[in-house]
Structure 1
Amino acid sequence: MSDSGRADALLADLPRDGRGRLKVFLGAAPGVGKTYAMLQAAHTQLRQGVKIIAGVVETHGRAETEALLGGLPQLPLVRSEYRGVILEEMDLDGLLHAKPKLVLVDELAHTNAPGSRHAKRWQDIQELLAAGIDVFTTVNVQHLESLNDQVRGITGVQVRETLPDWVLQEAYELLLVDLPPRELLERLREGKVYVPEQARAAIDAFFTQTNLSALRELAMQTAAAQVDNDLTQGYRQLGQDAPTVRGRLLVGVDGDAQAERLVRHASRVAQRRHLPWSLVHVDNGGVRDEQSRLRLQSAQQLAERLGGEVVLLRAGEVAKTLIQHAAERRASLVLVGQSRQRLRRRLFGGGLAARLLRHARGLEINVIDGDHEQHQPRQRSMQSPVWFDYALALVATVLASALSWAVSSVLPLPNISLVFLAAVLLVAVRSSLGPALACAALSFLTYDFLFIPPNFSFSIQREEDVLTLLFFLLMAALTGNLAARQRRQLQALRDTQEETTELLDLSRKLTAATDRQAVINAASHHLEGWSDLQLCLLNRDGQSGWKVETGGPLEFTEAERAAADWAWQHDQPAGAGTGTLPFGRWWWWPLSVEDGPLALLGVCAKEGQTLSGQRRRLLTALSQPLAQALARAQLADDLEAARLHGETEQLRSALLASVSHDLRTPLTSMRGSIDSLLALGEAIPLEDRRELLEGTRDEAERLDRYIQNLLDMTRLGHGALKLARDWVSPADIVGSALNRLRAVLAPLEVSTDVPAQLPLLYVHAALIEQALINVMENAARFSPSHGRLQLKAGADDSEVFFSVSDEGPGIPEEERAKIFDMFYTAARGDRGGQGTGLGLAICQGMVGAHGGRISVADGIEGHGTCITLHLPLQEQPGFESEA
């Protein structure tokens, strides 16, 4: 064995995903001492310091058992009333809240009181195990689902409370509590199991020595199978090769009365032989009544509970399809039930078992004899469609007779039979096999009565006419059977096409959905066409409540809300039609991915309708692409959030880097000047001191402009910048800007061209001045020493402009549209590697707030850059015209 296989075996011995461990005390019958043994084991754990709570323990009035239970901590039972009777059940929520290390739960197969969260106690135990709590429990062997038929055959009693075999198979430890039948009968007579009256009735009905011996053997077989599994696991943990599993068991079932019996027998055979197994149903398109469909659905659900795989195949020939599927799955054993001996099966090749034996090669075929007690006359459906089909057969025969009588004078007798064959084919295509055979029989009799001499009599005189009639009946039956089979196959193909179309249609709609709301809308549009069902999609609202995303508004009862909560928390279906909180009208199916549920699909049958098994399977299939679409939408949202977060971090980094540089430079200069003045004081000449103070003032003004830019950009970004407009002269704006930038522009040759008769601007003067200052400071920063800078103002019919031209390196054509973005710095040109990159962005915001624009062009004599502010003209005030 490989090291990985040994590691897998060792890991399998550990609790899965923090699950608790289950220990089962198995007995052959009540009274063998299972509860007593469980309590003894619990006391051993208690002495070792394990925190134990007795969830529910049935002592049945036995003094020894009550004494043991009295020494253990117990949790009070939950009381509820049902039809006037007070019932007590285990407090599941209390145990989950207390979270002990070990819980004692008696009677594993017990059915909970109506209104409980789960229908069965073993489901409560599964929830305790999922919470990481170990469980000790007891069960009798007659409660195993796969043994139900055997127990009934042995004892004559139908056990109603059953549990799936896989619950025992997943137990960490199984302990057989055994007591010889004679000792158990002695305990019964002494009143240690039941009260004397009940004990006498039990001995007469159930507790006979032969019954107890047979049940004891079943219990030992079950324990032996568990021992075999443990032994195999032990070999694997030692690194030795475990016995290999060969082949697979296939059990073919139909909707007949012995379907569940076949499934139980297959489970036991597979368990004894250590074979994986599958339930296979071949749908050949045959017409089934509701009872047959329900039996088939029940058998499929039973197979799932017992750990088998459910396979649905569609084909015309059942035997060949089973053989082909067995070859594909490398099955070694096929188990089927014995078909009823019918005339048509004898005529057309025998039953399923006979065809399997005839065509199978290398397969072991086991045939289970039918349960004769269950072979009761089948109640025929009196539905109108069936009567209509047989009426169609009668009408077709009458019409064929009339047509044949009309043409009998011109057609020879053998050709007249073709008219009746055509009628049989018509009925077979329009209905099913039964009406087709009825039409064939009626046609046979009519053909004999009307056309075979002597006419109008059923007697036949010539031997060749007998042969003709027999061939006619045979051909009619064959053609009718073939036509009916083709019709069934066509109907099966239509059903398959409908399911495939549903999946493709939903997938196509979901493919175009890009976010969660689009996915929800697509699902709602697709599912709203189902007139027999009411569907909704739920999601958490962030406060442990529910919000209806589609299909609402809806109101749910407390039971339905509890079922939805449980389905979401445990990622398992709940509600109507399940074993968990089945008391409401809604069936809840979680739409889940690996990380858990993304939504909850609710299905409720409308008044007068039922949720069929076919609908349930189709919804289950549709839920997978819907869950994947929701996961894709969530992933897209997460990626978008990650992208925005990355851009925000990048913006933040750029802002911090730029602002720290621009703020640090003037602060450093100011600090140096102040330190010089403090250190040297009067030793510095008066003119030098004045120069240091002027430099400090200039740097402080520069720092003030940077901070003002940041504040203006913040106000622009939040829409908080308010325009206090007034009439102002363009020349005043230019003059004030030049005065504020006097020190910055000192090294340059500045020329201005501002006509005196320019129209007035109706603007926020301080903002436009700040915008012009930012442009001029930007031009001065990148102009060469003693370079030229031209400031020009002008007007036309619709706007006033201010242009600033320099002799700097210029801005490439492809980058001119980007220089007004925040924190953008051109590699070459007026936006070099220094500065926050906010100046021109603020300019655009300020000018844009006034309805203006900014343009970029070449600078002086084709060198450098020219940035122009364009502001719209307003109708001039009246006093200007009077002046």
Structure 2
Amino acid sequence: MSDALRADALLDDVPREGRGRLKVFLGAAPGVGKTYAMLQAAQRQKRLGCDLRVGVVETHGRAETEAMLVGLPEQPLIRSEYRGITLAEMDLDGLLAARPRVVLVDELAHSNAPGSRHSKRWQDVLELLEAGIDVYTTVNVQHLESLNDQVRAITGIQVRETVPDWILQEADDILLIDLPPRELLERLREGKVYVPDQARAAIDAFFTQTNLTALRELAMQTAAARVDAELNRRYRLQGQSAPAVRGRLLVGIHGNDAAEGLVRHAARVAERRHLPWSVVYVNTGANRGETELAHLQAAQQLAERLGGEVVELRGERVARTLIDHAYERRATLLLVGRSGARRGLKRLFMRSVAEQLIAAGQGLEVSILDQQRTPSRRVGEARRAADWRTYLLALLATLVATGAALVLSRYLALPNISLVFLAAVLVVAVRSSLGPALACAGLSFLFYDFLFIPPTFTFIVARQEDVLTLLFFLLMAVLAGNLASRQRRQLQSLRQAQAQTTALLDLSRRLSAATDVQAVCAVAVHQLQLLPDIEAVVAMRTKKAEWSFKGGALPDLNDQALAAAEWAWKHGQPAGQGTDTLPGGQWWWLPLSGDGQSLGLLGIQPLAGTQLPPPKRRLITALAQPLAQALGRATLADELEAARLHGQNEELRSALLASVSHDLRTPLTAMRGSIDCLASLGSGMSETDRKELLETTRDEAERLDRYIQNLLDMTRLGHGGLKLIRDWVTPADIVASALQRLQRVLAGLQVTVRIPDRLPLLYVHAALIEQALINVLENAARFSSPGGCVEVEIAADSNRLRFIVRDEGPGIPEAEREKIFDMFYTAARGDRGGPGTGLGLAICQGMIGAHGGRVLVDDGLNDRGASVILELPLSPQPEMEEGLS
């Protein structure tokens, strides 16, 4: 390693005198817990006696985050008026005057209020760091400036508040705060990220499974890049190259028939030695025939199917390019195939790629695989048969140059005439290839000798210096033509590679954001149909062995196209147009497979009955591989989700049986006992005893009916079978009906009802709201002592109406207020509370939630008991007919 690089690393590592340290808590999206983790770290520092202060922290009303703020000293915010709105910002000057050791600054990408010293909060942070104050801060990955366009492409939302990437590069510590998208969505629905109205809007607009998965991947890539850069920097401090932490296997391939065997061998070696591996092809710019390209494409696809990475490099020296890439990737093993036989001077003066690797690959283990190769034609038909038009161009260029030289010979000296012919050679080389350029050089040599070298009109050269002139002219013409044609080949190769890389990158980026099979197919078809003059579709087999076409319009397939699809599916090989199987069809079918199983078929139809050109066919084949991987990932995700749901259903079934077996048996036992007494004693019983037994039987039957009704309601809620039949109803009628139905249950309690005189109408399913209120009232009755108070109140504002039920029971501890809405959870303690399945409040939450409302829990009457609040949104009130009030 050079001394300059080591010096740069040392300078980077020297802490700037008086500058604070920056710790960044990085997350994929709001709600993953960045602020909570930052406050946890602050609490630990405070316990160690560190002088810290909260500059600004946004809790967004989250109780757990607010609890973490307790005990941390806060710097009061500065409030200012802007267009009639009061804005609160961090007091930068106050923090600089106080000079604590650590300052907590939430939301690094925040834009400050107009009139502040800095327009962005990250600029405030830089000033704190320059003052020698350590800063803990939080930021989401979508706010990084370099990812702005990528985030917009993923989410469809333009993020306006951004942070320069160099802020993270200068951070002393970056902590990735991660939360799986499914858990984040659950937190969002539970109101732990935003209030419910904002939560629903956020889920629809930004917080989708697809967006969160893509953002999570970006966050992990950002953190991983930082770790890798830090490792390299640490080794540069010691004047060394960073070693391979785990090692890597690189496989150098060429476009021959031995490439696939080399890839398979590499996969086995990587599996045995537990190494990640890459297949590397070095494009030197040489012209590649169709056979070579086909072998190369097949080997690359095989490598991807076997779990390897495919890399294409560009360079004129194959061995040097492979070694440089191996050092860059910190590879430990380099595997190549044995080169073909070299003859004559080439064998004497040129070393093979394997020999060059052994000579120059210091620190690398170089393995050479000698394979039996099937004999094949060295040059394909396309490479042997030159295009006659390019040679015609060479002839015409020579004739034009000759005419120009004859005219200019009257004014220019003889040596200058050769430049005219050299120009013709360059034009031919740039416009065609090496063969026509050499032909032009040869013809120019002959015309130059015949027309301009004395004696003219003969091929005799009289003067010795003219011989050297001719020889140097021929040498310069050949070299110029060779260099120009090479540059043209490299330019064409770069253009093709750029187009393919762009298409692959765009497809891969969009596929990474798709989470299910339908989304993957839609993205793939959309991207493929951006290519001109083709129609694309993804065909999959259903469980009934029928074709299902996804991602686009239903294609019009004839019998021949269906037969080609059947063959491709059965044999796992391409079929249809341009293949050896049913080539007369209009559709080309490519199998999409992963982990040894068929996932589907990619169907391509050229429009207007044309044939797919080879470059476009190769591009589509390359695009099919990431599609197959994404399809396999989505299929596996669907299967795992189905298995998870099946497991949850089994757990729910077991919990249901365990929970309700006793509660259903108890009323049945009481009813059977009462009936047996009535049957055995008959008329021997007094009227009072008979009436008491009958009332007991009726009460137990009603309780059993409520249990069964709860189970049925919970089943309908869980399977989406609950239908909302809405109508306008007065809230007072719902309360009156619920109290009437629970008259016997509430007997012995002091029930107080508070209903305002004027209340808005509710547009709800009245029976469901009544049932939810009954469940809450029954719950209050079970937990109230005899003679206790139960209060029912209705309150309303401009947007919401609330049914509030308060009691004087034992109350619900803070830790259990969220659990009581779980199925089969009961808060009964000892003998208090009586029997119950634990379904009542869960059903209540489901019924209210189906109407867009929520269920809240608070303290009860006289600082005792609990309050359950059923909150429902109010719809615009209907217009009353004239004469009605």
TM-score normalized by the length of structure 2: 0.51
Farther off after superposition, 756-765 or 742-751: 756-765
CA distance, structure 2, for counterparts of residue 533 and residue 754 of structure 1:
69
State the 1:420 CA deviation: 5.3
State the 1:637 CA deviation: 1.3
Structure 1 match to 2:653: 652
Matched, 1:588 2:579: no
For the Cα contact (< 8 Å) 1:393–1:436, is it kept in 2? Answer: no
Structure 2: runs of 5+ lacking an equivalent: 1-252, 258-280, 299-309, 324-332, 356-369
Structure 2 match to 1:356: 347
Q: Summarize deviations over 1:443-474 as a string: whole Å, max 9, x none.
A: 55676678767899977554333323332332
For the Cα contact (< 8 Å) 1:252–1:335, is it kept in 2? Answer: no
Structure 2 match to 1:783: 784
State the 1:782 CA deviation: 1.0
Structure 1 residues 744 and 329: alpha-carbon distance in aligned structure 2, compared to 1, 3 A threshold: closer
Structure 1 residues 446 and 661: alpha-carbon distance in aligned structure 2, compared to 1, 3 A threshold: same
CA distance, structure 2, for counterparts of residue 675 and residue 661 of structure 1:
21
Matched, 1:391 2:396: yes
State the 1:843 CA deviation: 5.0
Structure 1 residues 572 and 710: alpha-carbon distance in aligned structure 2, compared to 1, 3 A threshold: same
State the 1:584 CA deviation: 3.8
Structure 1 residues 396 and 604: alpha-carbon distance in aligned structure 2, compared to 1, 3 A threshold: farther
For the Cα contact (< 8 Å) 2:398–2:444, is it kept in 1? Answer: no
Q: What amino acid is the match of 1:355? A: K
Matched, 1:466 2:471: no
Structure 1 residues 644 and 848: alpha-carbon distance in aligned structure 2, compared to 1, 3 A threshold: closer
State the 1:775 CA deviation: 2.8
For the Cα contact (< 8 Å) 1:790–1:806, is it kept in 2? Answer: yes
Q: Summarize deviations over 1:479-532 as a string: whole Å, max 9, x none.
A: 333333443344445445554554444333322222222222222233224446
CA distance, structure 1, for counterparts of residue 753 and residue 375 of structure 2:
114
Q: Secondary structure at the match of 2:745?
A: helix
CA distance, structure 1, for counterparts of residue 853 and residue 640 of structure 2:
37
Q: Secondary structure at the match of 1:744?
A: coil
Structure 1 match to 2:721: 718
CA distance, structure 1, for counterparts of residue 371 and residue 759 of structure 2:
108
For the Cα contact (< 8 Å) 1:515–1:634, is it kept in 2? Answer: yes
Structure 2 match to 1:698: 699
Structure 1 residues 553 and 778: alpha-carbon distance in aligned structure 2, compared to 1, 3 A threshold: closer
State the 1:758 CA deviation: 9.1
Q: Summarize deviations over 1:99-146 as a string: whole Å, max 9, x none.
A: xxxxxxxxxxxxxxxxxxxxxxxxxxxxxxxxxxxxxxxxxxxxxxxx
Structure 2 match to 1:664: 665
Identical-pair percentage? 56
State the 1:860 CA deviation: 1.1
CA distance, structure 2, for counterparts of residue 808 and residue 527 of structure 1:
66
Structure 1 residues 493 and 384: alpha-carbon distance in aligned structure 2, compared to 1, 3 A threshold: same
CA distance, structure 2, for counterparts of residue 678 and residue 441 of structure 1:
124
For the Cα contact (< 8 Å) 2:398–2:421, is it kept in 1? Answer: no
Structure 2 match to 1:569: 570
State the 1:602 CA deviation: 3.5
State the 1:692 CA deviation: 4.1
Structure 2 match to 1:246: none
Q: Summarize deviations over 1:311-355 as a string: whole Å, max 9, x none.
A: 99999999999x99xx9878779458xxxxxxxxxxxxxxx6552
CA distance, structure 1, for counterparts of residue 441 and residue 763 of structure 2:
102
Q: What amino acid is the match of 2:347? A: L
Structure 1 match to 2:79: none
For the Cα contact (< 8 Å) 2:731–2:759, is it kept in 1? Answer: no
After TM superposition, the structure 1 = structure 2 runs for residues 110-129 of structure 1, keeping only pairs within 5 Å, are none
Structure 1 residues 685 and 647: alpha-carbon distance in aligned structure 2, compared to 1, 3 A threshold: same
State the 1:864 CA deviation: 1.1
State the 1:634 CA deviation: 0.9
The alignment yields a C-alpha RMSD, in angstroms, of 5.9
Structure 2 match to 1:265: none
Structure 1 match to 2:478: 477
State the 1:430 CA deviation: 3.9
Structure 1 residues 877 and 657: alpha-carbon distance in aligned structure 2, compared to 1, 3 A threshold: farther
TM-score normalized by the length of structure 1: 0.51
State the 1:627 CA deviation: 1.7
Q: Summarize deviations over 1:205-240 as a string: whole Å, max 9, x none.
A: xxxxxxxxxxxxxxxxxxxxxxxxxxxxxxxxxxxx
CA distance, structure 1, for counterparts of residue 311 and residue 811 of structure 2:
76
Q: Summarize deviations over 1:728-781 as a string: whole Å, max 9, x none.
A: 965x954x7556545534454445567899999999987766554433321121
After TM superposition, the structure 1 = structure 2 runs for residues 248-397 of structure 1, keeping only pairs within 5 Å, are 334=340, 354-356=345-347, 359=350, 383-396=388-401
Structure 1 residues 398 and 514: alpha-carbon distance in aligned structure 2, compared to 1, 3 A threshold: farther
For the Cα contact (< 8 Å) 2:586–2:609, is it kept in 1? Answer: no
For the Cα contact (< 8 Å) 2:516–2:637, is it kept in 1? Answer: yes
CA distance, structure 2, for counterparts of residue 567 and residue 648 of structure 1:
38
Matched, 1:638 2:632: no
State the 1:628 CA deviation: 1.6
Structure 1 residues 459 and 759: alpha-carbon distance in aligned structure 2, compared to 1, 3 A threshold: closer
CA distance, structure 2, for counterparts of residue 560 and residue 509 of structure 1:
29
Structure 1 residues 360 and 382: alpha-carbon distance in aligned structure 2, compared to 1, 3 A threshold: closer
For the Cα contact (< 8 Å) 2:538–2:601, is it kept in 1? Answer: yes
Number of residue-to-residue matches in the alignment: 566
State the 1:418 CA deviation: 5.6
State the 1:652 CA deviation: 3.4
Structure 1 residues 434 and 463: alpha-carbon distance in aligned structure 2, compared to 1, 3 A threshold: same
Structure 1: runs of 5+ lacking an equivalent: 1-249, 255-280, 302-310, 337-351
For the Cα contact (< 8 Å) 2:540–2:599, is it kept in 1? Answer: yes
Q: Summarize deviations over 1:224-279 as a string: whole Å, max 9, x none.
A: xxxxxxxxxxxxxxxxxxxxxxxxxx99999xxxxxxxxxxxxxxxxxxxxxxxxx
Structure 2 match to 1:509: 510
CA distance, structure 1, for counterparts of residue 284 and residue 799 of structure 2:
84
For the Cα contact (< 8 Å) 1:563–1:574, is it kept in 2? Answer: yes
CA distance, structure 1, for counterparts of residue 293 and residue 761 of structure 2:
92
Structure 1 residues 775 and 785: alpha-carbon distance in aligned structure 2, compared to 1, 3 A threshold: same
Structure 1 residues 534 and 745: alpha-carbon distance in aligned structure 2, compared to 1, 3 A threshold: closer
Structure 1 residues 857 and 677: alpha-carbon distance in aligned structure 2, compared to 1, 3 A threshold: same
Q: What amino acid is the match of 1:625? A: P
For the Cα contact (< 8 Å) 2:792–2:805, is it kept in 1? Answer: yes
